[in-house]
Amino acid sequence: MTVTRGLEGVVATSSSISSIIDDTLTYVGYNIDDLADNASFEEVIYLLWHRKLPTSAELAELKQQLAMNMELPKEVIEHFKMYPINEVHPMAAIRTVVSLLGLYDEEADVMEVEANYRKAIRLQAKMPAIVAAFSRVRAGLDPVAPRTDLSFAANFLYMLTGKEPDAIAVEALDKALVLHADHELNASTFTARVCVATLSDVYSGVTAAIGALKGPLHGGANEAVMKMLKEIGTVENVDTYVRGKLANKEKIMGFGHRVYRLGDPRAKHLKKMSEKLTALTGEPHWYTMSVEIDKIVTGEKNLPPNVDFYSASMYHSLGIDHDLFTPIFAVSRVSGWLAHILEQYENNRLIRPRADYTGPGMQSYIPINQRG
Ligand SMILES: CC(=O)SCCNC(=O)CCNC(=O)[C@H](O)C(C)(C)COP(=O)(O)OP(=O)(O)OC[C@H]1O[C@@H](n2cnc3c(N)ncnc32)[C@H](O)[C@@H]1OP(=O)(O)O
Ligand SMILES: O=C([O-])CC(=O)C(=O)O
């Protein structure tokens, strides 16, 4: 048996959702640069789920369905109040609450295509509400109900703060949501597909995917980047800190990628937003520090920044708590997970690879009273 560590380069499925070819990312054949500059997140959700851009009427209908399904059942809020909310990581809470939502969805185990689509709408709509409600309940505040007249990105910021957000904040968040929506067979998407390929339900697939996104080698890296920026503190400290870490063979979070070699095409968009927002908030040092780190890591190790690097300083500038950075990734990526889950059901086969056994050879069972 030949083992490919980490399944690097292994092609495990066919998919018509997104592609990474020669370091270019497309969603259904549309270049991510075009989508980042022109499309709203709602348009991207439609594109991923239907493999075509929506007409105005189709987009309006999707927006309405999302807005109408955002409100959380009261059980979720009660649930937040039952555990030590200030001691749990929001990703653990969100993972638990998505699973909990499945208990209150009468269609949770109905496997028809239309029922799965309806669940996709409900889950996509509720993700921002879960993150916002968690954040408010732990701050001792009441959750804010969504508004039907706001976009998905604006509604999320509104539910988080209780205030109508600035246009620039909505633009930045919407772009980030577009950029994070899907990414071929990344670890969390693969997890979702493995889970539902047993013909388990949509809630189980998304719960499993959230667990995979949480880790710092995947979605959790954006929070780790902000932790590093705070630790470094000033532009003057960057050189010693980064070179010291590299000399110790430690990883610099937000750099490197399993697939991209020349660089992650999403990073430049987030870099631009980070520069703009850090200047607006009067804290340009977060951006300047990031650029200095980027110069050293890219120069010394030939490892360009990935999607998680500049998103950290950008989200910080939006006033978002640092442990909510990865949950925001999940608010966007759930669109991709759901597209892949629906695609997996369309042409399902159990995903079950093999392991090259490296333990001892055949052994004779020894009764417990004869073991030394
Ligand atoms: C949304 C996302 O999931 S994007 C990725 C987010 N994750 C991060 O930013 C965490 C930091 N980056 C990493 O850990 C890796 O680059 C990964 C996990 C993204 C990709 O990992 P892999 O393809 O498995 O590469 P692997 O970890 O084997 O690294 C290969 C070599 O590059 C080095 N390397 C990889 N990433 C980094 C990094 N960020 N900093 C320093 N060195 C690095 C490794 O130490 C290793 O060096 P070696 O060959 O001398 O031992
Ligand atoms: O594709 C990957 O391995 C990780 C990544 O960039 C993503 O999920 O957006």
Q: What is the pLDDT of residues 43-92, one digit of tens each?
A: 999 999 999 999 999 999 999 999 999 999 999 999 988 988 899 999 99
CB 186 less than 6 A from any atom of ligand 2: yes
308 is annotated as an active-site residue: yes
Of the candidate ranges 78-82, 148-152, 287-291, 362-366, the one whose mean pLDDT is the lowest: 78-82
- Specify the pLDDT at position 1: 86
Residue 166 has pLDDT above 90, yes or no: yes
> What band does 156 get if pLDDT is binned at 50, 70 and 90?
very high
Q: How far is the CA of 213 from the centre of ligand 2 (A)?
A: 9
Establish whether this prediction's ipTM goes over 0.90. yes
Helix (H, G, I), strand (E, B) or coil at 204: helix
Determine the average pLDDT of the residues in 268-294.
98
> What band does 271 get if pLDDT is binned at 50, 70 and 90?
very high
- pLDDT one-digit tens code per residue, 245-264: 999 999 999 999 999 999 99
Q: How far is the CA of 328 from the centre of ligand 2 (A)?
A: 15
Determine the average pLDDT of the residues in 135-149.
95
Write out residues with Cβ below 6 Å of ligand 1: 6, 217-219, 221, 251-258, 301, 303, 306-308
- Specify the pLDDT at position 83: 85
Q: How far is the CA of 298 from the centre of ligand 1 (A)?
A: 13
Determine the average pLDDT of the residues in 191-209.
98
**Which contiguous run of DSSP H or E holds residue 329?**
helix 325-346
Please name the residue whose Cα sits nearest to atom 26 of ligand 1: 258
Residue 234 has pLDDT above 90, yes or no: yes
Q: Give all domains of the chain, ordered by start, each with its CATH number.
A: 17-215+323-346 (1.10.580.10), 221-317 (1.10.230.10)
Q: How far is the CA of 252 from the centre of ligand 1 (A)?
A: 8
- Over pLDDT 90: what percentage of the chain? 97
Does residue 66 contact residue 125 with C-beta atoms inside 8 Å? yes
b/e map 330-359, b = 16+ CB within 10 Å: bbbbbbbbbbbbbbbbeeeeeeeeeeeeee
Q: How far is the CA of 257 from the centre of ligand 1 (A)?
A: 6
- Specify the pLDDT at position 55: 98
Which listed ligand is nearest to 308 at the C-alpha?
Answer: 1
Please name the residue whose Cα sits nearest to atom 25 of ligand 1: 258
Residue type, 130: I
Which of 5, 225, 251 for mutating ligand 1's site (highest number of atoms within 8 Å of CB)? 251
Determine the average pLDDT of the residues in 326-346.
98
Catalytic residue chosen out of the listed positions 79, 180, 183, 257: 257
Determine the average pLDDT of the residues in 335-349.
98
Does residue 135 contact residue 90 with C-beta atoms inside 8 Å? yes
Other Cβ atoms closer than 10 A to 234: 10
- Specify the pLDDT at position 114: 97
Catalytic residue chosen out of the listed positions 79, 201, 308, 316: 308
Please name the residue whose Cα sits nearest to atom 32 of ligand 1: 256
Residue 323 has pLDDT above 90, yes or no: yes
CB 307 less than 6 A from any atom of ligand 2: yes
